[in-house]
Copies of this chain bind each other. A is one copy, B any other.
Amino acid sequence: MNYPNGKKPSQQLKKVGSSRTSFSNRGMTLEEDINETNLFYLHSNKAIIHKKPTPVQIVKVDYPKRSAAVIKEGYFKQASTTDYNGIYRERYIDFEAKETKNKTSFPLANIHEHQISHMLSICNHGGICFMIIRFAVHDETFFVPAVKLFPYWESQYNGGKKSIPYNKIKEAGELIPFKYQARVDYLTIIDQLYF
């Protein structure tokens, strides 16, 4: 897999640090912000949304006496679904979150084919499915409904671009408000778009 900036996805989620001009995010990664938001939703009983654990292929495990089992050899597996799912207002919620340092576009190499298939199925089964895309340099986080992504995904195989321009994301998506307790308050967007 060829990542746009030569980095692995996990590295792309790392904090941007001093390049940030706004203090609103205090250098937290998108993943950290979403996890905090989900915890706030959970504790305030608004929604039950969890990040799925990173899938690991476990090859070798040691069982030392009187202490916990230790994984001695394991490998990262590619996730076959999106990272987050759960329930909100009786509806099934499913999404993926990606952060990019790119200023002008979101590279489609950030998404995998099977994630797109999964999102398409979720839409067909009546779930609420979307992506949260952060442009770190602009310090903007967008809620992009999955149905708005599919045409861009398809067009790359028909001579189209390998990325979605920033201004198209701005058009297709909704800017997610930053709040103190819900740092990426995506439920407010779900309220607007789906209820």
A73 at the interface (CB under 8 A from B): yes
Given A48-B121, A53-B53, A56-B56; A126-B87 close (CB under 8 Å) = yes
- The complex is assembled from copies of this chain, and their number is 2
CB contacts (< 8 Å) of A125 on chain B: these are 47-48, 87-90
Against B, the Cβ 8 Å flags (1 = close, 0 = not) of A62-82 are 000000111111111101110
Please tell me the size bucket of the interface on A. Answer: 35 or more
With A and B bound together, what is the CA distance between A75 and B76 in angstroms? Answer: 14
CB contacts (< 8 Å) of A80 on chain B: these are 50
CB contacts (< 8 Å) of A45 on chain B: these are 121, 124
Contact between chains at A71 and B69 (CB < 8 Å):
no
Of chain B, the residue at the smallest CB distance from A124 is B45
CB contacts (< 8 Å) of A88 on chain B: these are 125
A118 at the interface (CB under 8 A from B): yes
Question: Which listed residue, B50, B69, B121, touches A76 by the CB 8 Å rule?
Answer: B69
